[in-house]
């Protein structure tokens, strides 16, 4: 026996593209008196009344699973004939699945009823996304009151979702939105108006309301479940990151990639487990039966329940349908991933043939990743050296570089490691961390530490073991610098295959007559970084016997550090000053070592530091 139908003569809005042929939903939102919320009425096209179980259109729906929107054409899930017979329209009467309820000012939908509906001819009004902003600002437009109520209700629903911890994000200007799984997806250009938010929020609320109603009725349908990933991070922090990255395309792309890598795909199951991405206790797909077969399956089950007729699917069939849809979704995502992977590889190959100096950091990283699988090309080696000297390489770049297995890479690998170990020892731990993330099946880089020296002059030693090769002990006056240096040395030892089996470090002899330290003279008032107190009682005399100028100048910063350590002096210290306009700064570096000083300037901080070390070496070797 069919259930009674309900009718209402108020206007129903169908918001979609002007060219849409598959209109699934229509709604009316009416303000309640006294500001107590809104009455919400949603109708979903009664596709199950048109597409019979086992019909040709039904078979097409199960084969296609969803409508495919391709450039220049659309492949309807049901086929053209069935789609046009079931779609909501302004001209013809249609049956529907009707959902009503009251939305409170704090975003709660209660008093929900789910039943059969019937939409008479002429009750629906089609509105294009692009029309909505103009209607909302036109007091004389006949649809303004209904759209204003729908807009207000949608923003209340959006606020409630955010308060509940969901990653609810829309950027209509740039064309991005968070989908139900927590990924950031593109919004088609023609949909980037407030209408998009209205439809999305009302349909999410409808899907939740029907899912909860089914739970209360004890009615098994294909629930949409989404389990959390504990490393994804809370939504409020992600929203802050999204806002911060919105103006930087490269940073925004990296953030999107990270969210994609951490999310877990939602699944269809005949039991309810909640939806983590939306932060809802129950959720289902019911609002798009023309475009998704899961919605059609659920509509059949719900209408059969309302009509008091046998359920169209047994429990085993329903579970099998959900498992099949999940499998096909995984396959489609994998195929899409491979498609973009191959397209990206082609793009990277094209970029690699261009001037490498013109590539941005992200594109160069991709080029390097591809190049590292083959013998080294001269232009890649030159660009790596240039970027290392210009302070343009990142920890992920180095992690890729040290993985290059062909022996032709060895000189540039060691060159980059030596340069960064001297200029940026602090990124050593980041390099090891990035490498570890891309090689979870490999043992982590092991770090062991020792402490020595006198109580008033402590020293710390550290040694890293990378892929079974032990690096040399690195000694410093503090633990962190020792560990940083040890990590770089461990990576280098693994590349050269040089194991250092010494169980204990060889501690340097303590200085016999340490000179009292006094503060340096006042520096230039510019934005300089003052070094720690230095010995100013007079320049120390270094033992330079056997020192070779060519070797010293090949890596001047590292050579000065070794010179200080071998002569029991504090390591060299640098202070910097920045001059010139912001778009073309010039850096001046002054190095101080045991009473000796040298200054140089350059267009980058790293180059200035290296130049000052070179100048000091030239002076020291000239004086000997």
Assign 582 a pLDDT band (cuts: 50, 70, 90).
Answer: low
Predicted pLDDT of residue 88: 95
Decide if pLDDT at 271 tops 80: yes
Q: Any idea which residue has 């320049």 for tokens?
A: 539
3-class SS of residue 612: helix
| CA–CA distance, 481 with 461 (Å, rounded to integer) | 9
Whole-angstrom CA distances from 417 to 3, 363, 385, 394, 613 are 76, 21, 11, 12, 18
Residue 587's DSSP bridge partners are 578, 602
Greater pLDDT, 306 or 602: 306
H/E/C letters for each residue in 458-498? EEEEEEEEECCEECCCEEECCHHHHHHHHHHHHHHHHHHCC
**Residues 53, 300: contact at Cβ < 8 Å?**
yes
Look at residue 184 and tell me whether its pLDDT is greater than 50.
Answer: yes
pLDDT recorded at residue 525: 40
pLDDT band (50, 70, 90) for residue 448:
very high
CATH architecture classification, 549-623: 2-Layer Sandwich (3.30)
- DSSP codes of every residue in 575-592: EEEEES-TTS-EEEEEEE
Given CA atoms 283, 288, 292, 295 in this order, what sign does their dihedral have? positive
CB distance 242 to 170 below 8 Å: no
Average pLDDT over residues 212-219: 96
d(CA 338, CA 593): 55
Mean pLDDT value across residues 559-569: 80
Contact by Cβ (8 Å): 168, 107: no
Residue written as tokens 């995502």? 333
- pLDDT at position 604 is 77
Angle formed by the axes of helices 56-64 and 293-307, nearest 10°? 130
The pLDDT, as a whole number, for residue 249 is: 78
How sure is the predictor about 524, in pLDDT bands with cuts at 50, 70 and 90?
very low
Q: Which helix (H) or strand (E) holds 31?
A: strand 25-31
Integer angstrom CA distances of residue 103 from 7, 14, 31, 236, 494? 20, 20, 9, 25, 64
What residues contact 15, with CB distance under 8 A and at least 6 apart?
A: 127, 128, 129, 132, 195, 198, 199
What distance in Å separates the CA atoms of residue 621 and residue 609, rounded to the nearest whole number? Answer: 19
CB-based contacts of 214: which residues, under 8 Å, 6+ apart? 220, 221, 223, 282, 284, 302
Q: What whole-number distance in Å separates Cα of residue 32 and Cα of residue 226?
A: 34
**What confidence category does residue 338 fall into, taking pLDDT thresholds of 50, 70 and 90?**
low
Q: What is the CA radius of gyration of the chain?
A: 34
Which H or E run contains 103? strand 94-103
Can you tell me the distance from the alpha carbon of 551 to that of 520, in angstroms, rounded to the nearest whole number? 31
Six-digit token pair at 18? 């002007």
Mean pLDDT is lowest, of 1-5, 93-97, 175-179, for 1-5
What is the rounded average pLDDT of the residues 339-352?
Answer: 53
Residue identified by tokens 């890598």 is 261
**What's the rounded Cα separation, in Å, for the pair 172 and 191?**
9
pLDDT band at 537 (very low <50, low <70, confident <90, very high): low
Instruction: For the full predicted model, state whether its pTM sits above 0.75.
Output: no
Q: How many residues does the chain have?
A: 624
pLDDT of residue 583: 58
In CATH terms, the fold of domain 359-496 is Double Stranded RNA Binding Domain (3.30.160)
Q: Whose CA is closest to 222, among 161, 138, 285? A: 285
**Which pLDDT score, from 0 to 100, does residue 337 have?**
64
Which residues are paired to 589 by β-bridges? 576, 600
Q: Is the pLDDT of residue 587 over 70?
A: yes
- For residues 364 and 342, give the distance between their C-alpha atoms in angstroms, rounded to a whole number: 17
Contact 387, 393 (CB under 8 A): yes
Contact 178, 221 (CB under 8 A): no
Are 135 and 147 spatial neighbours (Cβ–Cβ below 8 Å)? yes
Task: Find the mean pLDDT for residues 137-146.
Answer: 94
Q: Please name which of 504, 533, 502 lies closest in space to residue 595, comparing C-alpha atoms.
A: 533
Asked if residues 110 and 104 have their Cβ atoms less than 8 Å apart, the reply is yes
CB 7, CB 19: distance < 8 Å: no
Residue 345's pLDDT is: 52
3-state secondary structure 45-69: ECHHHHCCCCCHHHHHHHHHCECEE
What Cα–Cα distance (Å) separates residue 397 from each residue in 261, 365, 388, 434?
Answer: 19, 6, 10, 10
At residue 587, the 3 state secondary structure works out as strand
> Does 339 score more than 80 pLDDT?
no
Residue 301 above 50 pLDDT?
yes
| Residue 2: pLDDT over 80 | no
pLDDT tens track for 20-69: 889 999 999 999 998 899 999 999 999 999 999 999 999 999 999 999 88
Confidence band of 439 (pLDDT split at 50, 70, 90): confident
H helices then E strands: how many in the chain? 19, 20
Contact 8, 118 (CB under 8 A): no
The closest of 21, 6, 27 to 204, measured between CA atoms, is 27
Residues of the chain above pLDDT 70, percent: 89
Backbone angles phi, psi at 180, to 5 degrees: -65, -25
Asked whether residue 461 carries a pLDDT value surpassing 50, the answer given is yes
Note the helical H segments in 164-271: 194-217, 235-245, 249-262
Average pLDDT for residues 420-436, to the nearest whole number?
Answer: 90
Q: Look at residue 7 and tell me whether its pLDDT is greater than 70.
A: no
Cross-strand pairs, 469: 466
User: Position of tokens 């098994």?
Assistant: 220
Residue 563, pLDDT above cutoff 90: no
Over pLDDT 90: what percentage of the chain?
Answer: 54
For residues 541 and 232, the model is more confident at 541
Closest CA to 182 of 110, 114, 255: 255
Mean pLDDT of the chain: 86
Angle at 206 between CA 201 and CA 207, to 5 degrees: 100
Which is more confident, 29 or 545?
Answer: 29
**Among the ranges given (3-7, 161-165, 194-198, 357-361), the one the predictor scored with the smallest mean pLDDT:** 3-7
At residue 171, does pLDDT exceed 80?
yes
How confident is the model at residue 535, as a pLDDT?
Answer: 45
Query: Is a pLDDT exceeding 90 seen at residue 521?
Result: no
Average pLDDT of span 147-163: 95
Kindly state the average pLDDT of the residues 336-360: 62
Which residues have C-beta within 8 Å of that of residue 379, sequence separation ≥ 6? 356
pLDDT in tens, 309-333: 999 999 999 999 999 999 998 887 7
Domain ranges of the chain: 12-228+263-337, 359-496, 549-623
Domains 359-496 and 549-623 share a fold: yes
**CA-to-CA distance for 157 and 361, rounded, in angstroms?**
40
Give the pLDDT of residue 605.
79
Residue 561: Cβ within 10 Å count:
18
- Compute CA 471 distance to the chain's CA centroid, rounded to the nearest angstrom: 35
Q: What is the pLDDT of residue 140?
A: 95
Query: What pLDDT was estimated at residue 312?
Result: 95
């Amino acid at each position: 026996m069919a259930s009674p139908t309900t009718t209402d003569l108020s206007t129903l809005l169908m918001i979609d593209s002007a060219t849409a042929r598959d209109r699934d939903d229509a709604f009316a939102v009416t303000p309640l008196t006294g500001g107590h919320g809104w009455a919400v009425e949603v109708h979903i096209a009664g596709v199950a009344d048109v597409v019979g179980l086992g019909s040709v259109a039904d078979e097409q729906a199960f084969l296609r699973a969803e409508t495919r929107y391709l450039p220049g054409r659309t492949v309807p899930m049901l086929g053209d004939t069935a789609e046009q017979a079931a779609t909501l329209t302004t001209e013809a009467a249609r049956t529907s699945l009707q959902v009503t309820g009251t939305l409170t000012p704090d975003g709660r939908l209660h008093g929900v009823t789910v039943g059969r509906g019937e939409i008479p001819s002429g009750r629906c009004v089609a509105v294009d996304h692009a029309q909505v902003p103009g209607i909302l600002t036109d007091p004389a437009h006949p649809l303004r009151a209904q759209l204003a109520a729908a807009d207000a209700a949608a923003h209340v629903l959006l606020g409630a979702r955010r308060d509940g911890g969901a990653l609810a994000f829309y950027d209509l200007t740039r064309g991005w939105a968070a989908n139900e799984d927590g990924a950031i997806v593109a919004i088609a250009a023609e949909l980037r108006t407030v209408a998009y938010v209205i439809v999305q929020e009302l349909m999410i609320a409808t899907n939740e309301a029907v899912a909860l109603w089914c739970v209360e009725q004890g009615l098994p349908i294909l629930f949409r479940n989404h389990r959390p990933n504990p490393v994804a991070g809370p939504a409020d922090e992600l929203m802050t990151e999204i806002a911060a990255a919105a103006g930087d395309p490269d940073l925004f792309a990296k953030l999107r990639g990270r969210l994609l890598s951490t999310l877990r795909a939602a699944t269809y199951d005949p039991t309810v487990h909640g939806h983590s991405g939306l932060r809802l206790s129950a959720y289902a797909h019911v609002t798009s039966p023309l475009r998704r077969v899961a919605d059609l399956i659920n509509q059949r089950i719900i209408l059969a329940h309302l009509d008091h007729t046998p359920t169209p699917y047994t429990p085993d069939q329903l579970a099998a349908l959900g498992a099949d849809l999940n499998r096909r979704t995984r396959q489609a995502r994998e195929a899409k991933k491979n498609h973009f992977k191959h397209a990206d590889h082609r793009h990277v190959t094209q970029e690699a043939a261009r001037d490498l100096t013109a590539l941005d950091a992200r594109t160069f990283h991709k080029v390097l990743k591809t190049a590292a699988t083959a013998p080294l090309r001269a232009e890649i080696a030159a660009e790596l050296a240039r970027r290392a000297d210009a302070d343009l390489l990142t920890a992920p770049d180095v992690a890729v570089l040290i993985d290059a297995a062909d022996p032709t890479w060895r000189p540039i690998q060691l060159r980059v490691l030596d340069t960064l170990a001297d200029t940026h020892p602090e990124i050593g731990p980041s390099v090891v961390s990035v490498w570890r993330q891309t090689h979870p099946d490999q043992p982590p880089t092991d770090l062991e530490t020792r402490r020595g020296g006198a109580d008033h002059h402590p020293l710390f030693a550290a040694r890293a073991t990378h892929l079974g090769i032990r690096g040399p002990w690195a000694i410093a006056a503090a633990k962190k610098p020792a560990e940083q240096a040890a990590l770089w040395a461990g990576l280098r030892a693994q590349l050269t295959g040089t194991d250092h089996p010494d169980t204990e470090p060889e501690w340097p002899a303590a200085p016999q007559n340490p000179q009292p330290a006094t503060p340096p003279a006042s520096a230039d008032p510019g934005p300089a970084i003052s070094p720690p107190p230095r010995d100013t009682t007079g320049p120390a005399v270094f033992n330079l016997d056997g020192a070779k100028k060519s070797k010293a100048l090949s890596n001047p910063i590292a050579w000065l550090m070794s010179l200080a350590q071998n002569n029991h002096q504090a390591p060299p210290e640098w202070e910097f000053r920045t001059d010139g306009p912001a778009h073309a700064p010039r850096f001046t570096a002054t190095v101080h070592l045991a009473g000796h000083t040298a200054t140089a300037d350059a267009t980058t901080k790293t180059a200035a530091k290296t130049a000052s070390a070179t100048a000091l070496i030239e002076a020291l070797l000239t004086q000997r």
